[in-house]
Amino acid sequence: MWLLLGDFNDVRKTDERMNSRFDSTDAAAFNDFISRVGLMEFNMQGGKFTYVSDNGTKLSKLDCFLVCDSFMAKWPTSNLRVLRGGLSDHLPIYLECSNMDFGPIPFKMFNMWTGKETVNRFVAQQVAGVDLNAPGDSALYKVLRMIKADIKKWRESVRMEEEKEYESIAKGIEELESKAETTILSPVELEQRASLLVKLKAIEHEKCLDLQQKARIKWVQFGDENSAFFHRAIKINITTNRIQELIFNGVRVRDPVALKVEVKKWFRSLFAESMRRRPKFSNLGLPVLSTTDSASLVASFSSEEVWRAIKECDGS
């Protein structure tokens, strides 16, 4: 596990320079080096630039930390910060390695699960048990909560079976290929190896679909199942999407519990209003919904609507 840090005297993107020339050729070479070596970079807090010219007009992001994937996997929530002030034209930066616990992550529905017969059965069973007299939003919430619980139990039970199946298939292929080094395989053995390869490819394809959805990257080259690329993108997303700290009323807040409280207060203030008494409207000749349309607004969700909503869910 290692990291590379210092003044690289180059930038990666156009917005990392201000009032100075951006060299696209140098940037492409720098990014190519980072990609080929398998390096990754944390998002920087506290500012966008690390170099300021003497006259204060030219700014660039020349200093950075580049880490290997195992480093980022161990400390995905590390805090990279640039410090202000000082006599040097380069602003100091530091990387604080810490794991901030924001509690359980949200449940993610994977697209590939919708094609499983077991998941279809879970959905049908829970929708069939909906209380038709309950409010629609409450009924939908209960249905989705029960489906989530069923899927989590199902995944826990089949995960070990899938791993055992994968290991068994890989071992079978390895034994046949080892035998082929000393003797000619029979037609039956060749057919067996081909069958095992098809099964192994199907398992790998499902894994890649999960990785693709986690990475949130559109798979342009459908034939290139580069799982290492998706793993790297997932780690970068974790680092990019995490809120390391926020400033409220001039105070820097980093504690996860305090952050949640302050964010909740801020969003609550967006929907607050000073008006306590609202005016009433009556007999103004405004268009109104018919009795049929009004009833449709509070009608219970059908099983087809619930299933369609789940299938259209993108998992985010």
Same domain? 118 vs 223: yes
Q: Which pLDDT score is estimated for 211?
A: 60
Looking at the fold, whether 160 and 73 belong to one and the same domain comes out as no
Q: What is the pLDDT of residue 241?
A: 65
Relative to beta strand 79-82, strand 44-45 is parallel
C-alpha closest to that of 303 among 91, 58, 139: 139
Domain span including residue 123 = 111-241
Same domain, 152 and 262: no
Task: Please give the pLDDT value at position 29.
Answer: 93
Whether 121 and 232 map to the same domain: the answer is yes
Where is the domain boundary, 199, 221, 241?
Answer: 241
C-beta of residue 217 within 8 angstroms of C-beta of residue 233: yes
Dist. CA 110–CA 316, nearest whole Å? 9
User: Does one domain contain both 160 and 70?
Assistant: no
Q: Return phi, psi of residue 239, to 5°.
A: -70, -40
Calpha distance 37→230 (Å, rounded): 16
DSSP bridge pairs for 59:
18, 52
Tell whether 153 and 196 lie within a shared domain: yes
Residues 23 and 124 in one domain: no
Q: Which of 310, 301, 306, 304 is nearest to 116 (CA)?
A: 310
Per-residue pLDDT of the chain (316 residues; tens, 9 = 90+): 888 888 998 999 998 999 988 999 999 999 999 888 888 888 887 788 898 888 778 899 999 889 888 888 788 778 888 887 667 788 888 888 876 666 666 666 776 777 778 888 888 888 888 877 778 888 888 888 888 888 888 877 777 787 888 888 888 888 888 888 888 888 888 898 899 888 888 877 777 666 665 555 444 444 444 555 555 655 666 666 667 778 888 887 878 888 888 888 888 888 887 767 777 766 677 788 888 888 888 888 888 888 888 888 755 4
Other CB atoms within 10 Å distance of the CB of residue 116: 14
Dist. CA 94–CA 84, nearest whole Å = 12
Domain endpoint, select from 65, 96, 127: 96
Instruction: Please compute, for residue 224, the number of CA atoms within 13 A of its CA located in the half-sphere on the CB side.
Output: 8
Q: Strand order in 51-52's β-sheet?
A: 17-18, 59-60, 51-52
> What is residue 221's predicted lDDT score, i.e. its pLDDT?
42
Q: Which CATH number covers residue 39? A: 3.60.10.10
Q: How far is CA 177 from CA 195, 196, 201, 202, in A?
A: 14, 12, 17, 20
Rounded Cα distance between 90 and 48, Å, is 13
| Inter-axis angle of helices 136-180 and 187-215, nearest 10 | 140
**At which residue do the structure tokens 């930038």 appear?**
11
- State the pLDDT at residue 235: 62
- Regarding whether 31 and 84 lie in a shared domain, the answer is yes
Instruction: Establish if 303 belongs to a structural domain.
Output: no
Q: Are 207 and 226 in contact (CB under 8 A)?
A: no
Does one domain contain both 20 and 86? yes
pTM for this model (two decimals): 0.43
**Number of domains present in the structure of the chain:** 3
Whose structure tokens read 């590939």?
112
Going by C-alpha positions, the residue among 55, 98, 71, 111 that lies closest to residue 232 is: 71
| Three state DSSP letters for the chain | CCEEEEECCCCCCHHHEECCCCCHHHHHHHHHHHHHHCEECCCEECCCCCEECCCCCCEECCEEEEEEHHHHHHCCCCEEEECCCCCCCECCEEEECCCCCCCCCCCCCCHHHHHCHHHHHHHHHHHHCCCCCCCHHHHHHHHHHHHHHHHHHHHHHHHHHHHHHHHHHHHHHHHHHHHHCCCCCCHHHHHHHHHHHHHHHHHHHHHHHHHHHHHCCCCCCCCCCCHHHHHHHHHHHHHHHCCCCEEECCEEECCHHHHHHHHHHHHHHHCCCCCCCCCCCCCCCCCCCCHHHHHHHCCCCCHHHHHHHHHHCCCC
